[in-house]
Amino acid sequence: MKRRNYFALLLAIAMVSTAFFPLTIFAETPITRPALHGLVTEVYEDGFLLSDPDMGDIILNVNFETVLGGVLAEKPLKTGMYIQAQYNGLLTQTSPPQSHADRLACYPLEGIVAELLHDGLLLTGDPIFGDVMVHLSECLARGFAGVPHT
């Protein structure tokens, strides 16, 4: 008889606690990393200076944890490369600000400029991507129609 009383008491406590403290289920939300893109203007021993058209100059530190994609997986980082970078969203209060690069990618395009657009150009004949519309910011060099471009 005592066991039934204990069981009934535990059941009552569980029902009361559920009423006051409902079980909350948290859905897993995907983590998206902030992104930067722009020209590499200086290369350092453990990082580089990126000229992002929206954020300005940012020093991105690189180490063994940084994932490299595109040609960066095979070739070293050089001044003049156009880089896409993901970072943790934290920037130092220094000038220029600094952060750690979580992921870096560089995908150069080759081909012939088929058409000039108001904000870029249409590049045809890239061996990997085919025809590509390239949007150029103010900091990138302009192309000329009919001229090979790399």
| Model pLDDT for residues 125-146, shown as the tens digit of each residue | 877 778 877 766 655 555 555 5
The arithmetic mean of pLDDT across residues 70-87, rounded, is 88
Please give the pLDDT value at position 65: 93
Please give the pLDDT value at position 145: 54
Average per-residue pLDDT in the chain?
A: 78
pLDDT in tens, 96-122: 999 999 999 988 777 888 888 777 778
Chain centre to alpha carbon of residue 82: 13
pLDDT in tens, 19-34: 555 554 554 555 566 8
Q: CATH 2.40.50.140 occupies which residues in the chain? A: 35-106
Please give the pLDDT value at position 3: 61
* C-beta of residue 123 within 8 angstroms of C-beta of residue 114: yes
pTM value is: 0.61
CA 16/CA 11 separation, integer angstroms: 9
pLDDT category at 86 given cuts 50, 70, 90 is very high
**CB-based contacts of 133, cutoff 8 Å, min separation 6:** 117, 120, 121, 122, 123
DSSP 28: P
CATH class of 35-106: mainly beta
